[in-house]
Amino acid sequence: MVVTYHRPTRAIIHRKALRENIKNEIKRLPKGVELFAVVKADGYGHGAIAAAQMALSVGAAGFCVATLDEAIELREAGITEPILVLSVVFPSYLSLVVDYDLSITVATKEWLVEAQEVLNVLEETTAPIKIHIKADTGMGRIGFVTPEEVKEAADMIEASSNMVWEGLFTHFATADEKDATYWHKQADRFNEVIAALDHLPRYVHSSNSATALWHDKEMPGNMIRYGVGMYGLNPSGHELPESYPLKPAMELVSELIQVKELAAGEGVGYGKTYDTPEKEWIGTIPIGYADGWLRKMQGFSLLVEGEFCEIVGRVCMDQLMIRLPREFKVGTKVTLIGRSKGQEITMQDVADHLGTIHYEVCCMLSERVPRIYQE
């Protein structure tokens, strides 16, 4: 999809907010614990390369991504710090892992066996591949389940001349919830895994943003994988108070491209789902579901000069209409996410309207919307 610069719809990314979130997190970390910035899914929609560079400038020690291609994007942009791919990379792609000097996740014994076969025939393997063993302590996603399986994997890696054991990690399923019972069960299991090993790799890590924010005194490991918090979003939504004020890094803005007064009883949008009950000012904004602003957003209100204006009629692919309290000039700024004259629409408000989480909202914003970086 082509990025559409020649239109007033923009995602504004505030560098200072993003950097401050990371600085504030690093300040709270126990001594010796490093922060890896999670920039998967194009930095949760904020731009992976830009987010990684901002994180780096304030002390991130490395990066986490979800896929091999995301890791390659960072390397090609000149990032030289450790990059860990969190999900499974097929052994058939291992030459790329070597070429780009990446760290990868291993979750099964079968993978290790297959990887060893691939590595045996790889020509001129200059450096061994760096492996983080994933322990599944209760997420039920990827990883070895028992301490014995982890130990066996570690032994296999250490017996190999073209693998190094660089990390051991797990992932919490409920760190963003008030009830910490299950978090503790997972932490206990991870500590059992650690105890079953006679030595540990360079990185041991368990914390996503929620664990780092709410279990900082008890989180196992010497590195955290800090994701949503760096973008200024509370991982728990409404459930838990922020440990320090998180500053939202993204705003979404546009402009009125047409303003008209419709007579009473006129239809607005496809399917004519809205009829003007009386004479009304209607404004049109150039953003729609192809930009990731879904049709379900009908009925939500946007900010025009500090006043909330409801989206009326169906959201179209590229445009939507709002009801204005009075005439506004064409070119007036419209805030979809962010602040306007003392009022605010948060990513969480959008998520609440859609019945989802803000993670999904920022990831959904499509490539068509330009990301503009400001201090």
Q: Which residues are annotated as a binding site for substrate?
A: 141, 317
Fill in the DSSP letter of residue 67: S
Q: How far is the CB of 227 from ligand PLP (least distance, A)?
A: 2
5 belongs to the catalytic site: no
Catalytic residue among 40, 226, 231, 359: 40
User: Nearest CA to 337 among 327, 321, 323, 348?
Assistant: 348
Report residue 373 as tokens: 């970086």
Pairing state between β 10-14 and 371-374: parallel
The DSSP bridge partners found for residue 281 are 261, 324
Distance CA 257, CA 185 (A): 54
Are 210 and 359 contacting, i.e. CB atoms less than 8 angstroms apart? no
Residue 111: Cβ within 10 Å count: 19
Report residue 273 as tokens: 């789902």
* C-beta closer to ligand PLP: residue 60 or 285: 60
DSSP string spanning 108-164? -HHHHHHHHHHHHH-TT--SPEEEEEEB-SSS-SSSB-SHHHHHHHHHHHHH-TTEE
Residues listed for the chain: 375
What residue ranges bind ligand PLP (CB under 6 A)?
38, 40, 86, 171, 208-210, 225-229, 235
Q: How far is the CB of 75 from ligand PLP (least distance, A)?
A: 20
Contacts of 27 (CB under 8 A, 6+ apart): none
Are 56 and 34 contacting, i.e. CB atoms less than 8 angstroms apart? no
40 belongs to the catalytic site: yes
Q: How far is the CB of 40 from ligand PLP (least distance, A)?
A: 6
Catalytic residue among 5, 244, 270, 341: 270
- Name the residue whose CB lies closest to ligand PLP: 227
* C-beta closer to ligand PLP: residue 171 or 189: 171
Contacts of 157 (CB under 8 A, 6+ apart): 106, 112, 131, 133, 163, 164, 165
Are 256 and 331 contacting, i.e. CB atoms less than 8 angstroms apart? yes
Q: How far is the CB of 93 from ligand PLP (least distance, A)?
A: 19
Distance CA 236, CA 242 (A): 9
Q: How far is the CB of 94 from ligand PLP (least distance, A)?
A: 21
Distance CA 119, CA 122 (A): 5
Go through 148-172 and write b for each residue having 16 or more CB atoms within 10 A of its CB, e for each that does not.
ebbbebbebbeebebbbbbbbbbbb
* C-beta closer to ligand PLP: residue 232 or 283: 232
Positions marked active-site: 40, 270
